[in-house]
Amino acid sequence: MAVLMVDLDDTLVDRPQAMREWAAQTAKHHPDDGGLAEWLVEWDCDGDAVRDRHDFLDGVRSRLGMTQSVDELLQRWPYEFGGHYRLDGATRTALRSTRRLGIPVVIVTNGVTAHQEAKLDAMGACDVVDGWVISEQVGVRKPDRRIFEVAAESVGQALDGSWMLGDNPTADIGGAAKAGLKTVWVNRYRRIWAGDVDPPPTFEHPASAIRVRGVQDVNCSGSVQVIA
């Protein structure tokens, strides 16, 4: 049986949108600091990458004159930010439809367990997927083949015939392709392909990717054909 593996940040959930919501909420508590929300969103990134959270919170602390230590802020961060993660209705429906066909869905994400679990909790992931594999928890990160094997094993399946939806050309697409999975690139922000494998079928939204490239045919023997 195929497994549908899906990345979390910037694939299932629009992370910049969650950041904008957190920044807007934070700015409400500091009405005298004009431009704070915009600054927080800008400070979140260092070039194309998300800024290291210690450095990010250190900057926030300075800007807002906070008395807490960065370590204290880091402890609260997963819940403060992760609490803004939401799964949109179309994606929720697409994941449920996949599972109704008997196809297990597993989220495969690189990150800190506490951070990712706070996001998964806020978006109600336990209602729409069979499980998740977080790199810190299992001691291996995408693009390593092993994390995809662990994800398949977590639902009692092998890698054969499975596929991976993700936004990162190297960690998600390159890693999964090299592990023999079918891949679909979720490109929410119209980025230019920068992977070292050929670009796979591409969609701006995960719901479209799952609907169009999803489990489209369950034949009479019960095996699943994934069209990708």
Residue 189 vs 223, nearer CB to Mg ion: 189
Site for Mg ion in 166-225 (CB under 5 A): 167
Q: How many whole angstroms separate alpha carbon 139 and alpha carbon 110?
A: 10
Closest to Mg ion by CB, 37 vs 187, is: 187
**Quick one: 9 or 130, whose CB is closer to Mg ion?**
9
Rounded to 10 deg, the angle between the 15-28 and 70-82 helix axes is 120
Closer to Mg ion at the Cβ: 27 or 50?
Answer: 50
Q: Which listed residue (6, 9, 174, 181) binds Mg ion by CB under 5 A?
A: 9
Distances from the Cα of 169 to the Cαs of 54, 106, 175, in angstroms? 26, 19, 8
Minimum CB separation from Mg ion for residue 25, in Å? Answer: 23
Report, in Å, the least distance between residue 12 CB and Mg ion.
9
Does position 7 interact with Mg ion (CB under 5 A)? The reply is: yes
Q: Does 10 bind Mg ion (CB under 5 A)?
A: yes
* Positions in the binding site for Mg ion (CB under 5 A): 7, 9-10, 167
